[in-house]
Amino acid sequence: MSSKRRFMQLDVFSRQVLKGNPLAVVIDADGLDEATMRAFARWTNLSETTFVLPPTTAEADYRVRIFTPHRELPFAGHPSVGSAYVAIEAGLVATGKNALIQECAAGLLPVTIEGADAGRTIHVQAPPAQLHRIEAALRQTIGDALHAALDDAQVRLVDNGPHWLICDLHEASRVRALNPDMHAIAALCERHHAIGVSVFGREHSGDASMAVRAFCPADGIPEDPVTGSANAAIMAFLAERGDETYGPRYRASQGREVERDGYVEVARDPTTGAITIGGGCVVAVRGELNLG
Q: What is the CATH number of the domain that holds 17?
A: 3.10.310.10
Same domain, 83 and 166: no
Same domain, 154 and 248: yes
Pairwise CA distance, residues 58 & 60, whole Å: 6
Report, as an integer, the average pLDDT of 90-112.
Answer: 94
Same domain, 101 and 187: no
Same domain, 25 and 121: yes
Same domain, 29 and 41: yes
Same domain, 138 and 264: yes
Pairwise CA distance, residues 275 & 128, whole Å: 8
Same domain, 235 and 264: yes
Contact 24, 46 (CB under 8 A): yes
Same domain, 96 and 215: no
- Which amino acid belongs to residue 256? R
Report, as an integer, the average pLDDT of 100-119.
Answer: 95
Same domain, 91 and 162: no
Pairwise CA distance, residues 230 & 197, whole Å: 9
pLDDT tens per residue, range 23-68: 999 999 999 999 999 999 999 999 999 999 999 999 999 999 999 9
Contact 106, 74 (CB under 8 A): yes
Range of the domain at 213: 130-273
Contact 23, 79 (CB under 8 A): yes
The pLDDT score that the predictor gives to residue 118 is: 85
Q: Is 205 exposed, middle or buried (0-12, 13-18, 19+ CB in 10 A)?
A: exposed
Pairwise CA distance, residues 269 & 166, whole Å: 21
Dihedral pair phi/psi, residue 65, rounded to 5°: -115, 140
Total domains in the chain come to 2
* Active-site residue list: 48
Torsion, Cα of 13, 14, 18, 20 (10° steps): -20
Same domain, 194 and 267: yes
Same domain, 34 and 90: yes
The predicted model scores a pTM of 0.95
Same domain, 177 and 94: no
pLDDT at 2 over 70: no
Q: What is the CA radius of gyration of the chain?
A: 18
Pairwise CA distance, residues 132 & 237, whole Å: 10
